[in-house]
Structure 1
Amino acid sequence: MSNIANTRDWIELRRDDDTGIETIRAHFEGHAYDPHWHDSYLVGMTEQGVQQFHCRRDRHYSTPGRIFLLEPGEIHDGDAPTPGGFTYRMLYLDPHWLAQALAELRDQTPADGLPQFPSTLVGDPGFARTISDAFTALHQGELRMLRQAVLDDLLTGLSRHLHWRPLAPLNERAPAVALRARDYLHAHVEEDIGLDDLARATGCDRFRLSRAFQVAFGLPPHAYLIQLRLALARPRLARGEAPAQVAASLGFADQSHLGRWFRRAYRLTPARYQRHCSNLPD
């Protein structure tokens, strides 16, 4: 357990080596997370209190027993709007693992589709218990056969709450200039990119570009670039790469710069995140 910021806040994190699934159980009072996104599917439930977050241009309130489902790339934050804060447990599912596991579970899975959650908040007591069982088995490192059995149950329950969408850009209706800017950021993620560089690359002035990008992706270009770098940093840290090396290769000024943004997004330092993912004691 790691104490952070507010002395009553805490986070527990583990990583399952077989599947790459990360499990997080955490408690926050007051502000929890700044807006950020993950490259994983998030499947979780609120244990205690009221969990407030913004996602899909709406404000959501999750109460005990409620399930929240987020897709890769969906921007969200987190706050505790009531005294006593909130506690939740969550699984981070790797998209490649999920697609393969669902294909094995179902006889027919669209070859050109990706799983999609129609609803961000779900009320399903049976599925909530399944999520809790899967979380406990992975988080506590139960026998491999038991972990596989509860994950099969999780996938069965999850299949009732997802649709399949075609393999097309998430923001296919976004302005072309915003899509070009996003692609440029992904191609030059490690570079110190200026708005003027982005404007020249997209053939648009920086002011119209910034407005279009914000509308399309929910973040201004500089914030999107930081979140992109953080999303790339997580798996590299989990594989054991030194935080200083990860910071340098992803365009952060230094390890401290990476650490500041990492803590704002995930409430853990890169080094502590790495220790948890490696299942090593603090």
Structure 2
Amino acid sequence: MHAHFERHVYHRHSHETYSFGFTEEGVQTFTCRGARHRSAAGMVMVFNPDDPHDGHAADDVGFTYRMVHVGPELVADVLAEAGGGGLPLFTEPVVRDVELARALRGLHEALVGGASALRRDELFDGVVAQVVRRGGGGDVYGDARGVEIEAGRVVREVLHYSDDLGITAGELAAAAGRSRFAVYRSFRAAYGMAPSDYQRQLRLRTARRLLDEGRPLAEIAVMTGFTDQSHLTRWFTRYFGVTPGAYRRAVGS
């Protein structure tokens, strides 16, 4: 992702990946892990998988940033080859490190600029190791998720693997064996958002995948449970920062 925003406001969301990026110009502000953060030029942003956050410009000038989303399995591969342990859990979403920002820029430019596969691999391995070394806390992501509230985990599994877009709070409570209130509270504690928000996010990820496959937008809206094409476009833009049409042109599908 490489974008400039002035008025766009990201809806609270999370990614299934690690997200490593930096602010090139301006200042952006966002809420993550219960606190408000600011990222100015040269600062690095680090999000764990399922870290809920929002985001917008801190002033009328706007901000420009680059972001690389990396699957946990790729991070695990790099760390395993380097003799590391489990997946890292980053405790601070903003790191003041100009050198790391420079390394991320090099990786981003290589990924989008046609560098050789060998060069991309070399930069990728180096940046992942550098991010973990400079920005990672002492915890391990897998261990931290082991203490999740069980009801929240069960609900997440149901939302991920259920094809029923009309699933109710009562059905989620029954699956978890808890009251509706307990399920809601547990899920928010574990994932930072309501089950309904998480479900919409999953539907939007599915819509993005279907766009990659070249499906018509109106068909995608029906398949993912949105009222119509306009309804899907509004939410897609709030979550991903671009319209479905702009996304499709960017990925060439």
TM-score in terms of structure 2 length: 0.85
How far apart are residue 132 of structure 1 and its match? 0.9
Task: Call closer, same or farther: CA 1:234–1:50 in 2, change over 3 Å.
Answer: same
What's the counterpart of residue 167 of structure 1? 142
What CA distance in whole angstroms lies between the structure 2 residues aligned with 1:213 and 1:133? 38
**Can you give the 5+ residue segments of structure 1 that lack an aligned partner in the other structure?**
1-23
Task: Call closer, same or farther: CA 1:55–1:246 in 2, change over 3 Å.
Answer: same
Task: Call closer, same or farther: CA 1:102–1:241 in 2, change over 3 Å.
Answer: farther
Task: Call closer, same or farther: CA 1:49–1:177 in 2, change over 3 Å.
Answer: same
How far apart are residue 229 of structure 1 and its match? 2.3
Matched, 1:73 2:24: no
What's the counterpart of residue 187 of structure 1? 161
**Can you give the 5+ residue segments of structure 2 that lack an aligned partner in the other structure?**
none
What's the counterpart of residue 229 of structure 1? 203
Q: 2:127 aligns with which of 133, 150, 154?
A: 154
AA at the equivalent of 1:84: V
Matched, 1:114 2:91: no
- Asked if the contact 2:8/2:241 (under 8 Å) is kept, the reply is no
Q: Which stretch of the first structure deviates more once superposed, 90-99 or 141-150? A: 141-150
Q: How many residues in Structure 1 have an aligned counterpart in Structure 2? A: 251
AA at the equivalent of 2:84: T
What CA distance in whole angstroms lies between the structure 2 residues aligned with 1:209 and 1:80? 34
What's the counterpart of residue 143 of structure 1? 116
* Cα deviation code 1:180-223 (max 9, x no counterpart): 32222223154311223223333334344333333332211211
- Asked if the contact 1:189/1:250 (under 8 Å) is kept, the reply is no
SS in 2 for 1:83: coil
How far apart are residue 125 of structure 1 and its match? 1.5
How far apart are residue 277 of structure 1 and its match? 2.1
Q: 1:42 aligns with which of 3, 6, 19?
A: 19
Q: Which residues of 2 match residues 1-282 of structure 1 at below 5 A?
A: 24-104=1-81, 106=82, 108-110=83-85, 113-160=86-133, 161-162=135-136, 165=140, 167-168=142-143, 170=145, 172-174=147-149, 176-244=150-218, 246-278=220-252
- Asked if the contact 1:67/1:121 (under 8 Å) is kept, the reply is yes
- Asked if the contact 1:38/1:231 (under 8 Å) is kept, the reply is no
The answer to which structure has the higher helix fraction is 2
What CA distance in whole angstroms lies between the structure 1 residues aligned with 2:229 and 2:63? 31
* Cα deviation code 1:237-260 (max 9, x no counterpart): 335455455544444455444333
Task: Call closer, same or farther: CA 1:183–1:144 in 2, change over 3 Å.
Answer: closer
What CA distance in whole angstroms lies between the structure 2 residues aligned with 1:206 and 1:233? 28
SS in 2 for 1:237: helix
- Asked if the contact 2:45/2:95 (under 8 Å) is kept, the reply is yes
